[in-house]
Amino acid sequence: MEQYKLNDGKMIPQLGLGVYLIEDANELKDSISNALKDGYRHFDTAAIYHNEELVGEALADSDVKREDLFITSKVWNNNTTYDETIAAFHESLKKLKTDYLDLYLIHWPSEGYQEKWRALESLYNDGLVKSIGVSNFEKPQMDKLLTTAKIKPAVDQVETNPYFQQKELHEYLTNLDIAHEAWGPLGQGKGAVLEDPTLLKIAQAHHKSVAQVILRWNIQRDVIVIPKSIHANRIAENIDIFDFELSNDEMLAIANIDKNQRGSENPNDNDWLNESLNMK
C-alpha cells in the first residue's frame, strides 16, 4: 500500500474502502473483514451513511490494532453550528468505538460551514482527530473558507472519475498543498465509464481490469481513492494495483476522455444544499 503525506505531516493510505449505501450488517461486516484480509487499512464512512456503528463493530472485532487503521467520517449538513458539530463528532466517535478519528470532514459546503470548520479546528487542537478536511468543496467555497480558517484543510474529497476528472480543481488543490481524494472513482455505475474503449484497450495491455486501470490512474495523479464494493473478488481486485504502472501516453489517453460529466449532486446547487439541511 502506498502512503500519501498530508500537509499536516500525517500519512494516509492512498487507497481505502468506501462504505456509502452499505447498511446491511452482514454485507458491511463481510466487506470490511475481506478488505482487512486483503491489506486495506483505510475506511471511509459518514454520519449520513447510517452505518458508523456497523463499521465500528467490524473493526473492533478484527485483530488489527487501532493505530494501524485509518478511519474517516464526516459531519452532515443538518449540523450548522459549532456546538452541533462538536456533538455530531462525539456521536460518530461513540458509534465507531474509538477515542479518536484519523480524518474528519465537512461533508458539503452547506450553511454554516465556516462555523463547522472552527469546530473541526478545536477537535484537531484537542487531539481528538489527527487530520481535518472537507468534502465536495470547489474553488469558491474553499477560497471563502480559507479567509477565516486558522488551519488549512488537509483533504478535499470530491467526485472524481475518468469522465469527471476535476482537472482545474486538482491543479488548484495541488497548488494549495491540499490532498485531492476521489469518491465514486469508478463512476458509481453511471455513464458507462467501465465500458470506455480507451480504458478497455489499456486494461487489456496490462492484463488488468478497467477498474484497476482507473484506480492506478488516480494513484499516479497523486489522488487518494476510496472505491466501494461488497464483493470479495472486487475488493481484492481493487487493491491489486501496485504491481504495474501506466505510461505517460496512457495517462494522456485517459486525460483525453474527460467529459466533465458530473454524476451526482452539484456543490454549487444552493437549492439542493438547502434541502439537504432537512436530510437525516
Per-residue pLDDT at 280: 83
Cross-strand pairs, 152? none
Closest CA to 110 of 83, 146, 134, 86: 134
pTM: 0.95
Under DSSP, the state recorded for 102 is E
Identity at 136, one-letter amino acid code: N
DSSP secondary structure letter of residue 97: T
Kindly tell me the burial class for residue 136, based on how many C-beta atoms sit within 10 Å of its own C-beta (0-12, 13-18, 19 or more): buried
**Per-residue confidence (pLDDT) for residue 189, from 0 to 100:** 75
Write down the pLDDT at residue 247.
98
Q: Cα separation of 154 and 133, whole Å? A: 5
| Catalytic positions | 49
**Sign (positive or negative) of CA dihedral 51, 165, 38, 105:** negative
- Amino acid sitting at position 254: I
User: Residue 114: what residue type?
Assistant: Q
Distance of alpha carbon 90 from alpha carbon 8, whole angstroms: 22
CATH superfamily assigned to domain 3-276: NADP-dependent oxidoreductase domain (3.20.20.100)
Q: Which of 60, 9, 16 is nearest to 239 (CA)?
A: 16
Instruction: Give the chain's length.
Output: 280
The pLDDT value given to residue 188: 83
Residue of 217, 105, 240 whose CA lies nearest to 161: 217
Per-position pLDDT tens, the chain of length 280: 789 999 999 999 999 999 998 889 999 999 999 999 999 999 999 999 999 999 999 999 999 999 999 999 999 999 999 999 999 999 999 999 999 999 999 999 999 999 999 999 999 999 999 999 999 999 999 999 999 999 999 999 999 999 999 999 999 999 999 999 999 999 887 779 999 999 999 999 999 999 999 999 999 999 999 999 999 999 999 999 999 999 999 999 999 999 999 989 999 999 999 999 998 8
- Residue (of 254, 243, 46, 237) closest to 161 by Cα position: 254
- C-alpha 224: how far from its chain's center? 7
pLDDT score at 21: 84
How many other C-beta atoms can be found within 10 angstroms of the C-beta atom of residue 177? 10
Cβ 209 vs Cβ 237: under 8 Å: yes
Contacts of 21 (CB under 8 A, 6+ apart): 49, 228
pLDDT at 22: 85
pLDDT value, residue 197: 97
